[in-house]
Amino acid sequence: MAQGVWTIAEQRDGELRKVTYEIVSEARRLADALGQEVTVVLLGSNIKDKAAQLGQYGADKVIVADDSRLETYTTDAYVSVISQLVKANDPAILLMGASVQGKDLAGRLSACLGVGMAQDCTAFKIEDGNFVAIRPIYAGKAYAKLMFENSTPRIATARPNVMSISEPMASKSAEVIDATFTLDDSALKTKVVEVIKDEGGKVDLTEADKIVSGGRGMKGPENYKILEDLADMIGASVGASRSAVDAGWRPHTDQVGQTGKVVSPTLYVACGISGAIQHLAGMSTSKVIVAINKDEDAPIFQKADYGVVGDLFDVVPALTEEVKKYL
């Protein structure tokens, strides 16, 4: 009988990403409700020293797959290793973050293992001993409550910045196990040749705690300077609507929305964004939404917790000055 809640840790350049701590914390809560153990699978190269951190957030066991071919994520290599470990251990639940990597990995694993998968979930729960996943549908207008059939593992991804991170317990440790697996080079169809990093050193939008976004109302790329000034003042990242990205004002990595990045920051400030349905789908789970728009009938105000009807070119600099005085 399938037992245990498993998660896949996500690392970049040997450092664990924030979403890893979120899903391990959530896995601990689910496992406690089921009376089962939490196992984290950690893949990478020379990555074993990170295993202790996972124990502090609730992992009972950490299975480390250490191989130079796993240093940088590739779908072929990761799916091969994880599917071998899953088949050998038969976990009941398998969780990962709904990041770009997590979504790619979950889809391929689901097909490889022949099991169901719930993508981009905002909540998990145990009802009558059954694992239930909740995810937004119809661009965030409704939520679907998903239950799984008898096949295991039940795979689900969690939207970054939605699940709360448990307070680390320094006294808690996990059993670290070296993974047993085979990796056939002939089966690896892709290889990362080069990684070109964003020179800005910005926090990825999916992990940002605060985001200041601009839309078509910005009128041009040069005007984003006022948003960057506000963002710097409050420690936020800068995002953009699809129309702004399509106009070439901001790179695609800044796009928030259904065809960009789905974000859930604590604070989302929308400047000159009307609130098209695809944009709302990408930020509606933000904890606090502030909208600045001169059109009082803009749809964004229906989602906003706070709204300012006015010219953003007057409001944003004034807001930045007030924040500066406060700080």
C-alpha pair distances (Å), 293 with each of 37, 210, 296, 314? 49, 19, 7, 11
| Nearest-angstrom CA–CA distance, 142 and 144 | 7
C-alpha pair distances (Å), 131 with each of 90, 146, 292? 16, 9, 40
Closest by Cα among 96, 90, 92 to 42: 96
Binding residues for FAD: 216, 241-242, 255-259, 272-279, 293
Do strands 267-271 and 288-293 pair parallel, antiparallel, or not at all (unpaired)? Answer: parallel
Residues 6 or more apart in contact with residue 222 via CB below 8 angstroms = none
Closest by Cα among 202, 189, 198, 199 to 231: 202
| Nearest-angstrom CA–CA distance, 254 and 26 | 28
Binding residues: 216, 241-242, 255-259, 272-279, 293
Q: Where are the alpha helices (DSSP H) in 156-311?
A: 225-234, 242-246, 277-283, 300-303
